Chain A
Amino acid sequence: MTTNFKLTLLIENDLELLNQIEQIDGSKLSLIESSHYDGDTTLIPIVITTTAIIIKQLALILVKYFDSKKQIKIVYKGMQITCNSVDEFDKIMTRLTQLDENE
């Protein structure tokens, strides 16, 4: 992946997690305060500008998150794709990266 890749995630409104993601070198994170996201008030959307390296660092941060049985949702073209593990996260990100390169 040569260019910046924009990723929209739905994650729990967890300040510690958000801080960790924000501290990844080179990442640009925008928190979106939404009046309504499928009526689920515990999940919040974030838009993050990433590169291949940032995605790897993101996966490292999410290991603990998945270990505590939490899930994230990657939002891509109107679909919410649920990830329950780092393996799933890696698999989906690899596919999205391929699509981004093709476009």
Chain B
Amino acid sequence: MSDNTLANYLSATRFPYIIDNSMDEYYSIIFSKIKDNISVNFGISPEIYNVYSLYRQCEIIKIGNDISIIYDRYLGETFHLMSKILMLPHENERAFGLCCKLLSEAYRRNGKFKEALPIACVAHDFIGEIYIDDNDKSFIITRKYLQKYFHNHSSSEIIFECNFADIHLVTVISESFAVLHEISHFLFKEKLIETYIKDHTEECEQIIDEDYSIFTYLLTGEDRLKSSTSFDSDFSRQNLLEETICDNLALELTISIFKNDFSSDQIAIAILLNSYHLIWLKHIDQLACNSEKKSAFSSLIKRANSIGKLLEKKLLKNEIDSHLIIQFSSIISQYNYVFFEKINSVFELHNDSKLTEKCDLIFGEYINKDFIDASIIIDSLIGWNTYKGDVTENKKNGA
């Protein structure tokens, strides 16, 4: 890019970020697979930039004619930690601390420091429990494990049983699916997949109209399900159709890219988990943005339903008694218990007058005075170290 627009954009939106070379090789392998595929299928060759910041999003941007994918490693880290907490029963207790941390981060991103403060104070008490070893913070060990498989084993040798022990494999598929989902949105908006859209609209419309999938019911419970039968004004049927078409395409691309590396069972579980992670993270963002809990949740239920139906159609086929159904059900009922109930408890902390008074007494003067002081306090409480640098200088990380 000839001017510094991208660098300026990143420094405004992706701060604080930490430059870390430890996982370059891993991302280089994953992104080269994705880039090769979309170059062949759609004729686009975007640059991929790796960042690590509180923004925690995958975003595709176009400046002039230049297309760039900005992938935030913190998203992968969060996926990994959430999968670990969810799938390993003895890790469940860490969910409350993680919920506090993620909600305070969301407030911080939205400049709502007063709301962030009490939650960040509670998160601070749990930091030692959220990250208990190196495997949680940077998961370098598991990345190296994965690199070893990609480098040293032929595709046919990479056979894992579909069990919950290989969470890092779930993470790699999850990260790839997240990138491919955003690429699908880009292709959709740029009208580069018109034929695909035409061919799949009817199928996706059916998915939206069909009865709720078993997965949605397990996630949401009957009461919430009943309350979500109409579309919110901010999430139209057209929005959901686009999301479903993009999920459909991203799912097909993920399968085609990783079919030689992972089994379809692994891909199915990873994508289901990824989708719920994304929905749950979106739920937190919406809580922090507008506090309209019910309205936001209703949209997310619809999203969860369409993904559940897609996976049923694409990956489960007619195997109704498949062991996957049992595993899916187990994941989702755990999800409800581990994450959705916890985040509601965290949100209730706002009603804890003792906590808010105490926080105001200690930090109120700084939080209310200036947004820079406020952000420093919040960053410090939730354990973020900052690093200044130009992320576009040397962090371009595509094949």
Is A78 in contact with B59, judged by CB distance below 8 angstroms?
Answer: no
Q: Interface of chain A, helix or strand or loop or mixed?
A: strand
Report Cα–Cα, A6/B4, bound state, in Å.
10
Is A78 in contact with B9, judged by CB distance below 8 angstroms?
Answer: no
Report Cα–Cα, A99/B370, bound state, in Å.
12
Query: What's the minimum C-beta distance from B343 to chain A, rounded to whole angstroms?
Result: 18
Report Cα–Cα, A92/B370, bound state, in Å.
10
Is B110 in contact with A78, judged by CB distance below 8 angstroms?
Answer: no
Binds B, one of A28-36, A52-60, A62-70: A28-36
Report Cα–Cα, A10/B60, bound state, in Å.
16
**Chain B residues whose C-beta falls within 8 Å of the C-beta of A7 in the assembled complex:** 12
**Contacts from A to B (Cβ < 8 Å):** 6-8, 30-39, 45, 47, 73, 75-82, 92, 95, 99
> Which bracket fits the contact residues of B?
35 or more
Report Cα–Cα, A9/B134, bound state, in Å.
37
By beta carbon, the residue of chain A nearest B3 is A30
Inter-chain contact count A-B, CB under 8 Å? 88
Q: Does B177 contact A (CB under 8 A)?
A: no
Other-chain residue from B5, B15, B57 in contact with A47 (beta carbon distance below 8 A): B5
Known: A32-B5, A38-B285. A80 touches B109 (CB 8 A): yes
Report Cα–Cα, A68/B109, bound state, in Å.
26
Query: What's the minimum C-beta distance from A42 to chain B, rounded to whole angstroms?
Result: 10
Query: What's the minimum C-beta distance from B10 to chain A, rounded to whole angstroms?
Result: 10
Is A32 in contact with B63, judged by CB distance below 8 angstroms?
Answer: yes
Is A32 in contact with B60, judged by CB distance below 8 angstroms?
Answer: no
By beta carbon, the residue of chain B nearest A99 is B372
**Chain B residues whose C-beta falls within 8 Å of the C-beta of A80 in the assembled complex:** 109-111
Known: A6-B8, A8-B8, A78-B15. A95 touches B185 (CB 8 A): no
Query: What's the minimum C-beta distance from A51 to chain B, rounded to whole angstroms?
Result: 15
Known: A32-B5, A36-B185. A77 touches B375 (CB 8 A): yes
Is A36 in contact with B13, judged by CB distance below 8 angstroms?
Answer: no
**Chain A residues whose C-beta falls within 8 Å of the C-beta of B5 in the assembled complex:** 30, 32, 47
By beta carbon, the residue of chain A nearest B53 is A78
By beta carbon, the residue of chain B nearest A45 is B9
**Chain A residues whose C-beta falls within 8 Å of the C-beta of B111 in the assembled complex:** 73, 79-82
By beta carbon, the residue of chain A nearest B190 is A33
16 A-B Cβ contacts within 8 A?
A6-B11, A30-B9, A31-B63, A32-B9, A34-B59, A34-B61, A35-B185, A39-B285, A47-B8, A47-B9, A76-B12, A77-B11, A77-B15, A77-B16, A78-B109, A95-B371
By beta carbon, the residue of chain B nearest A103 is B388
Report Cα–Cα, A73/B3, bound state, in Å.
23
Q: Does B62 contact A (CB under 8 A)?
A: yes
Interface centre among A31, A37, A77 (most CB of B within 10 A): A77
**Chain A residues whose C-beta falls within 8 Å of the C-beta of B289 in the assembled complex:** 38
Report Cα–Cα, A76/B374, bound state, in Å.
13
Chain B 57-85 near chain A by CB (<8 Å), digits 1 or 0: 11111110000000000000000000000
Is B9 in contact with A8, judged by CB distance below 8 angstroms?
Answer: yes
Q: Does B297 contact A (CB under 8 A)?
A: no
Query: What's the minimum C-beta distance from A102 to chain B, rounded to whole angstroms?
Result: 11
Is A75 in contact with B8, judged by CB distance below 8 angstroms?
Answer: no
Is B61 in contact with A6, judged by CB distance below 8 angstroms?
Answer: no
**Chain A residues whose C-beta falls within 8 Å of the C-beta of B13 in the assembled complex:** 8, 45, 75, 78
Q: Does B189 contact A (CB under 8 A)?
A: yes
Report Cα–Cα, A75/B13, bound state, in Å.
6
Is A35 in contact with B12, judged by CB distance below 8 angstroms?
Answer: no
Chain B 277-312 near chain A by CB (<8 Å), digits 1 or 0: 000001001000100000000000000000000000
By beta carbon, the residue of chain A nearest B14 is A78
Is B16 in contact with A78, judged by CB distance below 8 angstroms?
Answer: yes
Report Cα–Cα, A92/B372, bound state, in Å.
11
Chain B 37-68 near chain A by CB (<8 Å), digits 1 or 0: 00000000000000001110111111100000
Query: What's the minimum C-beta distance from B33 to chain A, rounded to whole angstroms?
Result: 20
Query: What's the minimum C-beta distance from B382 to chain A, rounded to whole angstroms?
Result: 12
Report Cα–Cα, A87/B301, bound state, in Å.
40
Query: What's the minimum C-beta distance from A55 to chain B, rounded to whole angstroms?
Result: 16
Query: What's the minimum C-beta distance from A83 to chain B, rounded to whole angstroms?
Result: 10
Known: A78-B53, A78-B109, A95-B370. A33 touches B62 (CB 8 A): yes
Chain B 1-40 near chain A by CB (<8 Å), digits 1 or 0: 0011100110111111000000000000000000000000
By beta carbon, the residue of chain B nearest A42 is B234
**Chain A residues whose C-beta falls within 8 Å of the C-beta of B185 in the assembled complex:** 35-36
**Chain B residues whose C-beta falls within 8 Å of the C-beta of A35 in the assembled complex:** 59-61, 182, 185-186, 189
**Chain B residues whose C-beta falls within 8 Å of the C-beta of A34 in the assembled complex:** 59-62
